[in-house]
Amino acid sequence: MLNVAVLVSGGGTNLQAIIDAIKAGSITNAQIKVVISNNKDAYALERAKAAGIKELCISPKDFEDRAKFNEALIDAIDKENIDLIVLAGFLVVIPEAMVKKYKNRIINIHPSLIPSFCGKGYYGLKVHEAALARGVKVTGATVHFVDEGTDTGPIIYQKAVEIKEGDTPEVLQRRVMEEAEWKLLPQAIDALANGRVKLG
Ligand code: GRF
């Protein structure tokens, strides 16, 4: 059984996709042990509560410095005996010590086809605004392992999504979530939990 920690900062629709996939049996051999957010108002925490999953708020604002926050975050994860950390819209920089300690056991979902529209400053709606500004006809989502860089780790899965005439960033974001993110993340977790993709 793969023990999973999901790190969130916002609405938690990707978290919900994982919760629903486990319930539906399209993810097997995995359980979400804890959901951690840096944002106490993140609706993702409500989703965890509603699903009976342990949820914690660990925010840099609650610590005297970033090193203390980093320590608290790593401790909270270590305590749960976690095999896989899933970044589902987590907007805080992952401590280097955590990337090292959980090498190839941290995955992230990014709302573009990496290496396009990724890296520092590309998150949430900004990604879709950049894709629309560039005029690409196809975008999508990528699930990848997290390494020391930003959106630079080995790619696990990608899924393309068509951009339509008149798309706004909000409409495009929703389509990328529905057609790509909410499918790729559960698929990746199931593949890691059942040995189709190598963990660690
Ligand atoms: C969304 O912008 C999504 O594209 C990206 O992070 C944000 C989180 O969305 N992965 P949610 O909190 O999972 O709804």
**Per-domain boundaries in the chain:** 2-193
Check pocket membership of 14 for ligand 1, CB cut-off 6 A: yes
Cα–Cα distance measured from residue 106 to residue 110, given in angstroms and rounded to the nearest whole number:
13
| Res 166: pLDDT | 97
**Catalytic entry in 33, 47, 105, 110:** 110
Reported as a single tens digit per residue, the pLDDT across 94-112 is: 999 999 999 999 999 999 9
CA–centroid distance, residue 12 to ligand 1 (Å)? 7
Strand ranges inside the chain, DSSP E: 2-8, 30-37, 55-57, 84-87, 106-110, 138-145, 155-162
ω into 186 cis (within 30 of 0): no
Two structure tokens written together for 175: 């389509």
Two structure tokens written together for 10: 């916002």
| Res 4: pLDDT | 98
Identity at 116, one-letter amino acid code: S
CA–centroid distance, residue 88 to ligand 1 (Å)? 6
| Res 58: pLDDT | 98
* Residues of the chain scoring pLDDT < 50: none
Two structure tokens written together for 59: 């925010």
Q: In a mutational test of the pocket of ligand 1, which residue from 6, 9, 13 has the highest number of ligand atoms less than 8 Å from its CB? A: 13
| Res 186: pLDDT | 98
In this structure, the residue with its CA closest to atom 6 of ligand 1 is 89
The residue to which tokens 């990014």 are assigned: 110
| Res 200: pLDDT | 86
Two structure tokens written together for 124: 């949430």
Residue 44, H or E segment:
helix 43-50
Q: What crossing angle do the helices spanning 13-24 and 43-50 adopt, rounded to 10°?
A: 20
Q: Do the strands 30-37 and 55-57 form a parallel or antiparallel pair, or are they unpaired?
A: parallel
Q: What is the pTM of this model?
A: 0.97
- Homologous superfamily (CATH) of 2-193 is Formyl transferase, N-terminal domain (3.40.50.170)
Asked whether 111 and 128 are in contact (CB, 8 A), the reply is yes
